[in-house]
Amino acid sequence: MDKETLEAAFEAGQDRMIEKWKEFLSFPSISADAAHASDCVNCATWLCDHLATIGVQSRLLETATKPVVFGELPGAADAPTVLFYGHYDVQPVDPPEAWVSPPFEPEWRDNRMYARGAQDNKGQVFYVIKALEALIASGVELPNIKIFIEGEEECGSDSLAAQLEEWKDLIAADVLMVCDTGTQIPGTGCITMGLRGIVHFTATLTGSKYDLHSGVHGGKAPNPAVAMARLIATLHDDEGHVLVDGFYDGVVEPTAEERRLANEVPFDAAAYESETGVEPAGGELAFTPAERIGFRPCLDLNGIHSGYGGAGGKTIIPSVATAKISARLVAGQDLGAVLESIVKHLQRHAPPALHLDISDQAVGGPGLRLDIDSPILQKAKTILRELTGKDALLYWEGASIPIVASLQRVSGGEPLLVGFGHEEDNIHAPNESFSIEQFRSGFIYVGMLLSSF
Ligand SMILES: [Zn+2]
């Protein structure tokens, strides 16, 4: 289907799409909150039924936690298979009082849909489904299509990753299509070329049995707060380079072309500072911000707690100090091995008089780096150029979509990550929204892509 036909289909169907989209958004499918478990199941069931109404055979796949909505639409016998991945679960809404309209009562204001999940990921899932509906109705020839929409992405997809092997034949595909990303510049198409993986854990340093009087014990008892500060300080040098042995193991240098493309995405340091309130001065200063995010792993302290933080003074030597630590790792790195290296480093540098305990160790999905020369990427670039009138940007993302690398491995599908999110959509924050223009762009992109195989 060409661009003009899809535009006309969108104009004609827009009002009905918005009504159905509102229904989808009205389920409080918050995966992290056990109180919403049945809302997640109800949302999955609704989605499954909705897919059936547009002509896609669908069912729920049971998992240890939230069901997966799985749909199939057979294409021509020799056609390739496209597996579409998305998620119907959403982030919690806190703080509820910050929402202008209630998060699960979708509201249409100034050509934007306001609701939790309006963009991430229900909005982006829904333009895919609506484009597919238009294609099916038109009778155009399509590839084999498989739809896999999960319900635990926002809490890490852990149990799902473990279960994927069971569905190896069911999800086998040539292309793995994901629309859970955004564009760096509104109005310009953007293809996500990489994702980082994540590991995290808690480190606790314990000294005395109880907080000690700093006059009686100061200078005599070891201080866990000071020791934790010193221990954390051993992790990086002054240039932001990580000093843990083995931390950079497996990192693959970008090619000159990848580096050039990554640095071609405009980055405005002043705009970054005015938005976040801080200069982009963290991490390995030897690399540009795009290279630091896209091609380098990083090690962060997410929180540090010890002793007294209330009003006035309290002269103690705290008995315990806690640090929450995470690392974002790149494709090629062994997440478990790097996590072990960090733990060993802390054990080696912790003072012997205190007890170091490591807990809550978590290993997420691995990093991902895609091939800049692949045919499917060229196809997406051509479509995005036709859609926007500009060359698409290639972007190596610093964040993670936990399941993508595992889905790639098990399904055999080559990932293609194109989404239409913007910074202003406020995903994971109050007043999340998605504009009609973004939805429309996604609809036309998906329509053009799926009819191009
Ligand atoms: Zn999200």
Q: How far is the CA of 382 from the centre of ligand 1 (A)?
A: 28
pTM reported for the whole predicted model? 0.90
Q: How far apart are CA 367 and CA 400, in angstroms?
A: 7
Beta strand 107-109 with 190-195 is unpaired
User: For 197-251+297-363, CATH number?
Assistant: 3.30.70.360
Q: How far is the CA of 226 from the centre of ligand 1 (A)?
A: 36
Mean predicted confidence (pLDDT) in 167-172: 97
Q: How far is the CA of 311 from the centre of ligand 1 (A)?
A: 36
Instruction: Single out the residue of 231, 203, 201, 228 nearest to residue 317, CA to CA.
Output: 228
Q: How far apart are CA 104 and CA 107, in angstroms?
A: 9
The pLDDT score that the predictor gives to residue 446 is 98
Measured between alpha carbons, how far is residue 276 from residues 134, 282, 379 in Å? 41, 13, 35
The pLDDT score that the predictor gives to residue 155 is 87
Mean predicted confidence (pLDDT) in 304-328: 97
Q: What kind and span of H or E run contains 54?
A: helix 37-54
Handedness of CA 254, 258, 260, 263 (dihedral sign): negative
Q: How far is the CA of 290 from the centre of ligand 1 (A)?
A: 21
Q: How far is the CA of 91 from the centre of ligand 1 (A)?
A: 6
Q: How far is the CA of 369 from the centre of ligand 1 (A)?
A: 20
What stretch(es) of the chain map to CATH 3.30.70.360? 197-251+297-363
Mean predicted confidence (pLDDT) in 111-122: 98
| pLDDT 10s digits, 335-369 | 999 999 999 999 999 999 999 999 999 998 899 99
Q: How far is the CA of 89 from the centre of ligand 1 (A)?
A: 9
Quote the longest CA-to-CA distance of the chain: 84
Both structure tokens of 271: 């705009």
Mean predicted confidence (pLDDT) in 254-283: 94
Q: Is the pLDDT score of 156 beyond 90?
A: no
Q: Is the pLDDT score of 38 beyond 90?
A: yes
Q: How far is the CA of 401 from the centre of ligand 1 (A)?
A: 8
Mean pLDDT, rounded, of the chain: 96
Q: Is the pLDDT score of 31 beyond 90?
A: yes
Q: How far is the CA of 234 from the centre of ligand 1 (A)?
A: 33
Q: How far apart are CA 279 and CA 275, in angstroms?
A: 10
Q: How far is the CA of 87 from the centre of ligand 1 (A)?
A: 9
**In the structure, what pLDDT confidence band is assigned to residue 221 with cuts at 50, 70 and 90?**
very high
**In the structure, what pLDDT confidence band is assigned to residue 53 with cuts at 50, 70 and 90?**
very high
Query: DSSP secondary structure string, 222-281?
Result: --HHHHHHHHHHTSB-TTS-B-STTTTTTPPPPPHHHHHHHHHS---HHHHHHHHSS-S-
Q: How far is the CA of 198 from the centre of ligand 1 (A)?
A: 15
The pLDDT score that the predictor gives to residue 401 is 87
Q: How far is the CA of 108 from the centre of ligand 1 (A)?
A: 21
**In the structure, what pLDDT confidence band is assigned to residue 58 with cuts at 50, 70 and 90?**
very high
Q: Which CATH superfamily, name and number, covers 3-195+368-450?
A: Zn peptidases (3.40.630.10)
Q: How far is the CA of 187 from the centre of ligand 1 (A)?
A: 22
Mean predicted confidence (pLDDT) in 19-36: 97
Q: How far is the CA of 58 from the centre of ligand 1 (A)?
A: 24
Q: How far apart are CA 1 and CA 140, in angstroms?
A: 7
Q: Is the pLDDT score of 432 beyond 90?
A: yes
**In the structure, what pLDDT confidence band is assigned to residue 79 with cuts at 50, 70 and 90?**
very high
The pLDDT score that the predictor gives to residue 400 is 87
Q: How far is the CA of 428 from the centre of ligand 1 (A)?
A: 6
What stretch(es) of the chain map to CATH 3.40.630.10? 3-195+368-450
Q: Is the pLDDT score of 162 beyond 90?
A: no
Q: Is the pLDDT score of 184 beyond 90?
A: no
Bridge partners, residue 147, by sequence: 71, 84
Number of Cβ atoms within 10 Å of the Cβ of 276: 9
